[in-house]
Structure formats: C-alpha cells, structure tokens
Structure 1
Amino acid sequence: MSLAGECMVCRPFSMHDEPEFTQVWDLLKDSDVAYGHLEMNFADYDELKWPARGQGIGSFMMSDPEIANDLKWAGFDIMSTAHNHSFDFGAEGLLATKKHMKAAGIVTAGTGADLELASEPGYVEKKNGRVALVSTSSGNQHFMWAGLSKGALRGRPGVNPLRLNFEFMVDETTAKNLKDFAQKLNVAKPPKHGREGSFGIQLPGPQQWGDPESFFVGDRCEIISRCNKRDLERNLRSIDEARAMADLVIVAHHFSVADGPRGETAPQFVQQFARAAIDGGADIYVGHGWHRTLGIEIYNGKPIFYGLGNFFAQSEFIQRVPYDSYDAWGHDVDRLPMLTPAAHPLHPGLDTPSDTWWSSAVIQLEMNDYGLKRVLLHPVEMGRDSSPQANQSRRTGKGDHHQTEGRPMLAKGEDAFRIIDRYRRLSEPLGTKIQIKDGVGVIEL
C-alpha cells in the first residue's frame, strides 16, 4: 500500500521526466494499491453555474478535468474527495469531479448526490484483494453537508460530514468573569448541547444561526472536542460495511478545524475518531486538512497517520478566481476587471514562509494477512525546502511574487533529514519509533 497527501493539483505534470520526479511515481506504482487525497475539483466551465461558497478566505479549488488523467498516469487507484473545498462550486462542481475521476479510472469516496451516496465506501479491485475507502470531513459549513431525501424532496448533494461538538471547561474564577461578561452584554443563552450545569454565551455574528458556546466549571481551562454522535455512528456503519465487503479498509478524515490554533498534535475529536475507526474495522486511518505533517501512532497494530501533509501545492496557479477571494484578501474590487489570478496575496498558506507547507512523504506500508509489517517514509518536497525560511528551489513565472512550482520530487540531503525528523519527533510521544536509514524513515513492527 502507498499513501500520498493532499493533492492541490491544477497543472498537467505527466510530461516531466526528472529522475527525482519519476521516482516518486515509481513508489506509487510499486504498490498493489495507491491512495491520495484530492484537494481539488475538476470541471469544464460549461458544467458550472457559480461559486457556491461566498466566504473568500481560502482558495476556490477548480481545475482542468484532464489533470485527472495525469493522476491515473501517476499510479493513483483510489482517492478521497470529502474536504472543505468539495462544495466550492456547488453541486455542479462536486458531481462533475466525481464524473471526471471515474472517467479517468480512479475510484473516489466521500462526496455524492445525497448523504447515502456520500457516506458509502468506494471499492477498487486489485489482484491481491479488494480495497475499500471511507472518506469524511469535519469543519464544513452546513450547506456543504449531504442530506437525505424526505417528503418528496430530493437529498442534497455534498460531503459525508463528521460534525463536532465543542465544550469549554473553565475554572471558577474564569466562569464568574464569563457570566458577568454575558450578563453585561445580554448574550447569555442556554446551550443546546453540553453537560448538566453548563452555561452558554452566544455572541452576535454575521450568520443567522448558531448554537451558543457551552461552558462548564472544572479545575482548569480546556477546550474539549467530540465527534457528533449520529455522524460518528453513520461513519462507523460505513466502516463496518467496508470491513465485510473488502480485504483492506482505509478511512480518510479531512479536518480543517482545531481545538484552538493549529498545533503539532491532532485535536481530541481526531484522536477519538481515528481510534474508533480502527476499533470498528479499519486497517489504516489517514488524516489531512491542516496542510502539514503530523505524528504517526500504531494503535492495536494498525497505523494512524494524523496528518499526511501536502503532496501537490499548486493553489496559486488556479486560473479562475472569483470575486470573493479578491475581496477577502483586501484587493480593490472596484477595479475588479483589472485584477488577475497573479495578484498576491490570494491564497492561504502562501503569504508567509512555512516549513511544513512544501514537504511530506510517500508512505509505503508492507502488509500481509497477519497485519502491518513495516512502514517506509520517502520524503518529498514541492519546490521549497523545509527550513523556517522555506527557501525556493523551483520557481514558475517571472513576476515579482515568486510562484513555487508545487509538484513533488524526492527530497535529498539535509532537507530529506528535516522532513523525516519531523515525523520522528512528533511520533515519539505517540509511542512510535522512526529510524532514519539512507534518507528514508523506517517503522519496524
């Protein structure tokens, strides 16, 4: 089994032949089955109506459907499509993506014409067995969730959601101050969720709907996140179906939210779902959404990859950028006809240096009927190194803003060591030991 991370891919790439590039695809094609996460939509523009998402901080992911054929050329067999950009161009963009991926011969899971179809596993047939994928997403807005048909109304196309519940534990002094704050502003409101004795605060906001934040008194201050009970149970049913119908089950979980600022460890709800997925019959859990690599846990003999990181980083080459993005990034939209997709800043993660945005690994799992034997981490870079300065090595264009090419190549030398050493450092607290041998990370079981 080979795993690759988030594919924000919008440029054809199959024509390139550098050894460091073709060796990446050799790693995928060397496996019985190769998985990746598709953080992109594919459609011809006559298949679309308009951008469905108005909130503009975040790229609007849409690209040429021909790139799906390049992903097949690269060796991908099965890809997850549930993420926070799945509904950027509405039902039309979501369903077009499914159609073009199927035409390219790549199985997908995580989105569909209604909730039942979005939740069902995708299956790929291979010589050595049948592989299933269940894909879900946390952090989507309500109109992106797939729905069921009812009352002569069709179900809503969308993503397979794994919604969340947050609670805030505060000490007695903080609780007193919060209640005083809520009383003075007249924003106290009982929460719809939370334990007995909790109190709620609902601050005014631009949206009409919203559940008050739920607070309760404890011995410290802590954010507590849990999976929505119904969504968790529905996804576990899909995992159980996949376990019964396939020989290997992958669960892909996209999460674009966190317990506060995004740190170096996965949120509580991610750990809850990952372990529940393994307990429910999954063989592999893969997490993505933060665009950074996170630690690896071996749980009951099964691998949990909390953050795969980016595998293609090409969002700044998206050709059709809607009004909302220019407006959100502070460009003068009164001059909209004069603004172009080359404007900067325009895409998250690209306005400041990042030592994790431009690197990850192709992960190879050696498995047999008795389970996981060994994990190999082959480091890749996307045109910048993994230093805090994110020094550029491959540039496209001659503009003032240095556009980074964004396709994966095998990393070398000090850069390769830094990439793998990050996995090692973040996996050690999870009880996973990673050795670095000849520039490759190795987990022996």
Structure 2
Amino acid sequence: MPSKDPDEMLRAPRKAGVTHGDFDLISIGDLLYSHPMADNANPEFQKVLAIVRSGDVTIGNQEGVFMDLKTFKGEAYGPGQLWGEATLAKDMRAMGVDMVSVANNHSFDWGPEGLLETRRLLDAAGMVHSGGGASLEQARRAGILTTPKARVALVSVASSFKPNATANDPMGEVPARPGISTLRTRKIILITPAQMAMVRKLATELASTLAPAPPADSTEVTLGDQIYRLSDKSGLHYDMDLYDHAALLKAVRDGKDAADLLVFTIHAHESPTGFDDDTPAPPDFLIKLFHDVVDAGADVVMGGGPHSLRGIEIYKGQPIFYGMGVFFIKGEIKALQETAFQVFPDATGKAPPPEPPEQSVRRGGNPASWYDGMVASTEFRDGKPVLIRLYPLDVGNTYDRTRRGNPHLADPENARRILAMLQRESALLGTKIEIEGTTGVIRLGMIHKE
C-alpha cells in the first residue's frame, strides 16, 4: 500500500541543492500555442528568445498535446480540443526550452493516444519532460536533465484535469492506464455559524433515507455534492487527497536524490473564489503544498494554470512562483461535431440570429491580465539561489492576429505596471521586489523567511 501520510515524507532533512559554478535557471509560463514560432523573425520576439536561451536550463509547461492529425489513431474528448502541430517539440527546443511539464487540464483533450504521442515526439526531439506516462509511476517520476553544471530534476502534477486523465498503476488484474500525475482536491465552502444554521435547516428539509438529516450540532454538512464546514469566516478551502499529497512529496525526495537541483511544477486553476483564471491570490492548498515540496527538497517551485501572474514567495531560501502566467496564448481549438452544432431556441422559440464573428479566442474577449507575462531568471551559487531577475512580457492583447498572443518584452510603462502588481502581491507573501528600469530584482541573500 502507498503511504497516505504526507508528514512521513518530511521527517528527514531536505537535501541541499548543488551546482558546479554559477548556474542560471530560466522559468517561463504556459507554452499555449499550435504552430512553430522559433523562426519568427520579429526582432522584439527574438529579444525574448535571447533571454530564454541565456540560462543553463529553461523550463515551461507544454499546454495541451500535439500530433499529426492525418496519421493520428486516437480520438478527441470534451467540448474543445487544444491541438498543436507535430513539430512543436523540435520548435520548443529551437527556442531554447530544455524541460517541460505535460500535466495540465488539456493533457487528455485527445485521450491517452494524444498524450503518449506527445511524449514520443518530445523524446524524439531530446526534450526532457515529466507529469505524464503509461502508468502513474511513470507520470509521477522526475524527468532528469544532465548539464555540465548540475543534474536538474523536474516533478510535475495537475490539480485541474479532465475526467479519466489520471494515470493508474496495475492493481490486481486491472492493467495500468496511461495518463497524467494528478493531485485530487475537494472544495470545501467555509461558512459562519449563522450560515451553518441555514444549511442544516435546508439539509433537514431535504433529508431522505439515503441522505439523512444532519445532527443539530454538526460542524460539517454535505448537501448534494457540496461540503459545507463551520468556520469563523466564510470562504473556500481545498482538501488535498492524502495519497496524492504523500506520493508527490515522495517523488520530490526521490527526484532530488537522483539530481543536484529539483524543480516542482503544478497546473492548478483553483483559486480562493473557485475555478477562476483571473485571481492573483493563491488558493490555500497551494501554500501548504508548496511549503511541503520545498521541505521535501524542491529548489524552485513553479505554479501555473491561471493565465494571470501571481505573487512570489521566498520560503526557506527557495523561490516559489505562485503563477507564471503564459508565455504564448495562441492555441488552436478543434471542435467536435457535438459542440460545433449546438443551438438552443431564443424567446421566440426559433434559432437566434447569427452573431458576428468573434475577434478573440473567447466569447467577449479574454481578461487583459492574461496578456501580462514574465520570464524569471534564478541565479544559483554553490547550490543556493541568490538572485532572481523578472522580465515582464507583453503577450499581445490586440486583435492583430500576427501579434496577438506572442511575447514581447513589455515597454517601460507596461513593465512598471506589471512589476508594481508583482511587488504588491509578493509583499503579501513576505517578498520584496526591487524595480531596476524595466526589470524586477529579488535578492535572496536579504531574505531569511522560515
């Protein structure tokens, strides 16, 4: 039986990081794109790639999967499938990306066949990856890249994922199932005593043999599929599955034992207000999880999922990026017939008149915050991070399709605006960001947070 005690994985001291000489790790956001970009000659885009290529290792999240649809043997799943050309693995390598996570809410848009084909193409391009596999053991296992200055391990997981996306190991006569490494969570609505009295009353009125009335002094009530828990103030809390939590910490420990540095990534759309891409504050479970993975051995933590940036915390000397945002946001969505042909009658009982074509990838337009990004450069010395440089990105919030969704270095005005937001959100996490021109700087030697 696997452990369901996360604390078991935290009893031994963490293994310190090791680097041979100065080492620069570049972190970027979601690679959410569908067609090759490395050869794009735009000089502003090439300035961004120069930073991506400037480090010893560059890590990002490969959002979705890619394959040649003419030869693909699998099927599409869900209301909309993010898709990319089969050449994207080579394209990412050409841009300077060395390691990617493949665990996210689009990993199973094309079923197990799409995920496994993406992994095959990544292997063929020499790209190290983690977060997906033919079994859960393979999906949780760290991907490891050997460089002249350090062996770098990558452990990746998603807490936001499609049904049946979780990889499984063999169990009894049941064979292994391909999928991704997932962290199961359950959302708890925290309510005040007065609110709990109303929930108990409603649950009592709706009680049945299969759903009996809650006790009069109950502090937790399940109503339908939702759990309500008594608290001194209302809000949202997320419980982490104990098996998944413990297994992730074990993966971090095992990965760090096999490497010099370890990076942990998660794709998590959850927020303090629900499933929301536009909330700068992290949900409570991420704070607990990120502190735990650092205690288990992670040297850098990269949060992703929200297409918006979040603050940065320095915990026990190690950087935690709660939200890296996007690097590209120009993915191509392929629709199934069941979603392409779906119209309900309006108030007249007839089909509503056709709407003008959308200029955005989302009805009504994407939030502006989705087009603020960053590249983070973490400099290590003797295995310890000593300096972080933040390069704000303008990811093209325009209807011009040749520019929209492509990262450029932000102009001075936008750079100051993005950095001011990161300053504000990071200060809430105890981190000071200095602004030097159009670049943010965090000096870790000045921070001693336990």
Q: How high is the TM-score relative to the length of structure 1?
A: 0.85
For structure 2, the 5+ residue unaligned runs are 1-24, 445-450
Tell me the residue number matched to 1:244: 257
Deviation readout 1:142-173 (Å, 9 max, x if unpaired): 41111111233221111101111333332222
Deviation at 1:93, TM superposition (A): 0.5
1:216-365 aligned within 5 A: 216-261=229-274, 262=276, 263-315=279-331, 317-318=332-333, 320-326=334-340, 344=358, 347-348=361-362, 351-365=364-378
Deviation at 1:328, TM superposition (A): 7.1
Deviation at 1:369, TM superposition (A): 1.6
Tell me the residue number matched to 2:401: 396
Contact between 1:190 and 1:201, CA under 8 Å: does it hold in 2?
Answer: no
Contact between 1:265 and 1:295, CA under 8 Å: does it hold in 2?
Answer: yes
Contact between 2:108 and 2:162, CA under 8 Å: does it hold in 1?
Answer: no
CA 1:353–1:370 in 2, change beyond 3 Å: closer, same or farther? closer
| CA distance in structure 2 between the aligned counterparts of 1:272 and 1:22, rounded to whole angstroms | 38
Deviation at 1:196, TM superposition (A): 7.5
1:68 pairs with 2:81: no
Tell me the residue number matched to 2:417: 418
| CA distance in structure 2 between the aligned counterparts of 1:3 and 1:331, rounded to whole angstroms | 47
CA 1:71–1:281 in 2, change beyond 3 Å: closer, same or farther? same
The alignment partner of 1:430 has SS state of coil
Matched to 1:442, the amino acid is: V
Tell me the residue number matched to 1:401: none
| CA distance in structure 1 between the aligned counterparts of 2:199 and 2:96, rounded to whole angstroms | 54
Pick which of 218-227 and 73-82 moved more.
Answer: 218-227
CA 1:344–1:12 in 2, change beyond 3 Å: closer, same or farther? same
Deviation at 1:14, TM superposition (A): 2.1
CA 1:236–1:343 in 2, change beyond 3 Å: closer, same or farther? farther
Contact between 1:325 and 1:346, CA under 8 Å: does it hold in 2?
Answer: no
Contact between 1:171 and 1:218, CA under 8 Å: does it hold in 2?
Answer: yes
Tell me the residue number matched to 1:209: none
Contact between 1:190 and 1:200, CA under 8 Å: does it hold in 2?
Answer: no
Q: CA RMSD in A?
A: 2.6
Match of 1:100 among 99, 115, 121: 121
Deviation at 1:106, TM superposition (A): 0.9
Tell me the residue number matched to 1:213: 226
Contact between 2:44 and 2:408, CA under 8 Å: does it hold in 1?
Answer: yes
Contact between 1:172 and 1:218, CA under 8 Å: does it hold in 2?
Answer: yes
Tell me the residue number matched to 1:201: 223
Tell me the residue number matched to 1:442: 441
| CA distance in structure 2 between the aligned counterparts of 1:91 and 1:331, rounded to whole angstroms | 36
Matched to 1:352, the amino acid is: G
- The percent identity for this pair of structures is 29
| CA distance in structure 2 between the aligned counterparts of 1:25 and 1:329, rounded to whole angstroms | 43
The alignment partner of 1:144 has SS state of coil
Deviation at 1:174, TM superposition (A): 1.1
- Count of residues paired in the alignment: 406
Match of 1:40 among 64, 69, 84: 64
Match of 1:379 among 371, 389, 392: 392
CA 1:132–1:325 in 2, change beyond 3 Å: closer, same or farther? farther
Deviation at 1:215, TM superposition (A): 2.3
Deviation readout 1:307-353 (Å, 9 max, x if unpaired): 000110102x44x3223543579799x99xxx9xx9538844x6335
Tell me the residue number matched to 2:21: none
| CA distance in structure 2 between the aligned counterparts of 1:219 and 1:50, rounded to whole angstroms | 48
| CA distance in structure 1 between the aligned counterparts of 2:374 and 2:344, rounded to whole angstroms | 35
| CA distance in structure 2 between the aligned counterparts of 1:175 and 1:100, rounded to whole angstroms | 52
| CA distance in structure 1 between the aligned counterparts of 2:423 and 2:343, rounded to whole angstroms | 36
| CA distance in structure 2 between the aligned counterparts of 1:267 and 1:233, rounded to whole angstroms | 19
Match of 1:49 among 55, 62, 74: 74
The alignment partner of 2:306 has SS state of coil
Deviation at 1:78, TM superposition (A): 0.3
The alignment partner of 1:62 has SS state of strand
Contact between 1:168 and 1:224, CA under 8 Å: does it hold in 2?
Answer: yes
Matched to 1:377, the amino acid is: L
| CA distance in structure 2 between the aligned counterparts of 1:423 and 1:103, rounded to whole angstroms | 37
The alignment partner of 2:440 has SS state of strand
CA 1:137–1:345 in 2, change beyond 3 Å: closer, same or farther? farther
Tell me the residue number matched to 1:159: 180
Matched to 1:368, the amino acid is: R
| CA distance in structure 2 between the aligned counterparts of 1:103 and 1:216, rounded to whole angstroms | 49
| CA distance in structure 1 between the aligned counterparts of 2:296 and 2:89, rounded to whole angstroms | 32
1:15 pairs with 2:39: yes
| CA distance in structure 1 between the aligned counterparts of 2:108 and 2:231, rounded to whole angstroms | 39
Deviation at 1:141, TM superposition (A): 3.7
Tell me the residue number matched to 1:388: none
CA 1:148–1:196 in 2, change beyond 3 Å: closer, same or farther? farther
Contact between 2:238 and 2:284, CA under 8 Å: does it hold in 1?
Answer: yes
For structure 1, the 5+ residue unaligned runs are 203-211, 385-391, 398-403
Match of 2:107 among 86, 94, 110: 86
Matched to 2:311, the amino acid is: G
Contact between 1:146 and 1:157, CA under 8 Å: does it hold in 2?
Answer: yes
Matched to 2:395, the amino acid is: M
Pick which of 294-303 and 101-110 moved more.
Answer: 101-110
Deviation at 1:40, TM superposition (A): 2.3
Tell me the residue number matched to 2:26: 2
The alignment partner of 1:47 has SS state of coil
1:133 pairs with 2:154: yes
Matched to 2:221, the amino acid is: F
| CA distance in structure 2 between the aligned counterparts of 1:216 and 1:359, rounded to whole angstroms | 36
Matched to 1:114, the amino acid is: S
Contact between 1:144 and 1:158, CA under 8 Å: does it hold in 2?
Answer: yes
Matched to 1:88, the amino acid is: D
Deviation readout 1:281-302 (Å, 9 max, x if unpaired): 0001100101110000000000
Pick which of 276-285 and 163-172 moved more.
Answer: 163-172
Tell me the residue number matched to 2:6: none
